Amino acid sequence: MQVSMKLEMKDAPGQLVAALTPISEVGGNIIAVIHQHDPKHLSGTIDVQIMLELPEKNLEKLIGLIRSKGVTILRIGEERLLIRHSIILIGHLIHTDLTDTVDRIDETGFAEVAELHMVMPAITEPSSAKITIKSASEADMDRALDILRDVAGQKQLLMIETMEDHA
Amino acid sequence: MRIALIGFGSVGRGIAEAIVHKNLDLTVSGVADSKSGIIDPAGIDMRAVLERKRETGMCGEEGISAMEIITSADYDLLIEVTPTDARTGEPALGYITAALRRGKHVVTSNKGPIACAYHALRTLADEHGVQLRYEATVCGAIPIMQALENGLAGNDIRGIYGVFNGTCNYILTRMADERLTYQQALLEARELGYAEADPTYDVKGIDAAIKLVILANTVWGLSTTLDDVDTTGIDAVTSDALELAEGQDCTIRLIGEIVPGKEILRVSPRIIPKSHTLVVSGTLNAVMVDTDMAGKVTFIGKGAGSSETASAIISDVLFIRDHHVKRT
């Protein structure tokens, strides 16, 4: 599983290493460390955000080990789905079973619909919906968008995708 | 240099106006529209031709055809600006072929022949040692071909992205700014002369797709056709969709993309950040070229219009005169 943790530790040499060492001890992999020197707390501590992957059963053990180093865990959360991408669907969304459209993404296990904002005009008019999908990686997002393209094709919906910012 | 001008609609007239009003040192020895023609090796009075066209709807005399001028008149360069047939390229394709076979330079604004038969025409031009230029076929007044060929020479072109159709851009801009429905915005575009009575060619993305075919075939030497472009138009876009995009500081624009390395050849409405360089207003076109050395270079300008298209044509004509024709 992927886990994100926000740690609070003393701004002193060796502290970060001390906090990170237990991760490999429990068979985990560090994906990212976001080290914010500023702003410092009045207490002289700093916050560090880490993203890691580890066997789910070892999470409790890791928490204990980190705490034993004198590091405070401010927040911990399972952050499986980090990539977000919005698209707009236009068409007869309700009549073509919107629940099924959402399920087709949710049932993949690697992506899910995080947000859905729909505008419905008159009953005969096509509705428009903005759908935000979350996934664990760019590759998973591509797979999810492929599925959605297929679904849109089958249900004769217009799918408008986001253009990456080239500017 | 003597010119034969075939096609005397809005673009043809724009070229004639430029020749009359600007000191371009160009002599016109033949002119034809769909119904009439005029030949004079000594040079035609273009002011009189413009007036005759205005009064009678014909530029010359009935019985003198475009093909007759192309195959028999005395000229160095053919300007071909007849209406486009996206599928066959005719009759322009026949005109251009005939002129190249006679060893005449050709400048055209006609997307049909360049999209349908670029490689054959290029080969023919090379065999006869003459120039074939088509700046006006893509993005009107924007000198995109000149930039790709000369200004950005030496660069590897990784991709081209752009707003290639002013009509669609106008409609989407009005839908976003005034919350008009698609139908209302289309009606407005028609009243202002930005959209044809039959807007299919523009709003279904076909016009933009043809420009991608031209770029793909001329810049990368591919052999693509209209059917290879994954094309979606804007006619199903709702004002609600534009409002949803607005909610995340984005808008919707019809974007054409060519990225040969990723096998992308696509025209589709896209959600795009309002701060993106390709988000232009009204009937403007915008093209972004992604290169290895120069990075991303963006061009913005008018994609259609009589004098704008004439600008691209005249530029091609003068380029050929100054680089490929011995001046006497």
Per residue in B216-271, pLDDT (tens digit) is 999 999 999 999 999 999 999 999 999 999 998 999 999 999 999 999 999 999 99
Q: What confidence score (pLDDT) does residue A167 get?
A: 44
Higher pLDDT, B290 or A136: B290
Q: What confidence score (pLDDT) does residue A39 get?
A: 59
Handedness of CA B52, B56, B61, B66 (dihedral sign): positive
Look at residues B327, B305, B319, B325 and name the one whose alpha carbon lies nearest to residue B139.
B305
Q: What confidence score (pLDDT) does residue B95 get?
A: 97
Cβ contact, residue pair B271, A163, below 8 Å:
yes
pLDDT exceeds 60 at position A87: yes
Same domain, A72 and A87: no
Whether B211 is catalytic is yes
How sure is the predictor about A79, in pLDDT bands with cuts at 50, 70 and 90?
low
Concatenated DSSP letters of B128-185: TT--EE-GGGTTTTS-HHHIIIIITTT--EEEEEEE--HHHHHHHHHHHHH---HHHH
Same domain, B88 and B111: yes
Same domain, A71 and A113: no
Same domain, A42 and A95: no
Q: What confidence score (pLDDT) does residue A37 get?
A: 61
Identity of the residue numbered A127: S
Q: What confidence score (pLDDT) does residue A139 get?
A: 84
Residues in chain B with CB shorter than 8 Å from the CB of A167 are 273, 275-277, 296
- Mean pLDDT for A51-66 is 86
pLDDT exceeds 90 at position B96: yes
Please state the ipTM of this predicted complex.
0.84
Same domain, B288 and B166: yes
A–B interface: beta-carbon pairs under 8 A: 76
Q: Which two tokens stand for residue B275?
A: 């701060």
Nearest residue in A to B267, CA atom: A160
Same domain, B22 and B133: yes
The strand pairing partners of A114, in sequence order, are none
Residue of B163, B183, B184, B238 to mutate for A, most A C-beta atoms under 10 A: B238
Higher pLDDT, A32 or B77: B77
Catalytic residue among B111, B211, B274, B296: B211
Nearest CA distance, A84 vs chain B (angstrom): 13
Angle in degrees, CA B263, B269, B274, rounded to 5: 110
Q: What confidence score (pLDDT) does residue A138 get?
A: 81
Q: Are B59 and B302 in contact (CB under 8 A)?
A: no
CATH of the domain at B166: 3.30.360.10
pLDDT exceeds 70 at position A38: no
Same domain, A13 and A67: yes
Same domain, A95 and A137: yes
Same domain, A89 and A71: no
Q: What confidence score (pLDDT) does residue A9 get?
A: 85
Residue A117: enclosing H or E segment and its boundaries?
strand A111-119
CATH of the domain at A8: 3.30.70.260
pLDDT exceeds 60 at position B328: no
Q: Which two tokens stand for residue B152?
A: 């950005």
Phi, psi of B214 (to 5 degrees): -60, -45
CATH of the domain at A133: 3.30.70.2690
Nearest residue in B to A128, CA atom: B241
What are the pLDDT digits (tens) for B128-173? 999 999 999 999 999 999 999 999 999 999 999 999 999 999 999 9
Residues in chain B with CB shorter than 8 Å from the CB of A131 are none
- Mean pLDDT for A32-39 is 69
Its domain, for residue A91, covers: 83-161
d(CA B50, CA B18) in angstroms, rounded, equals 11
CB count within 10 Å of CB B144 equals 27
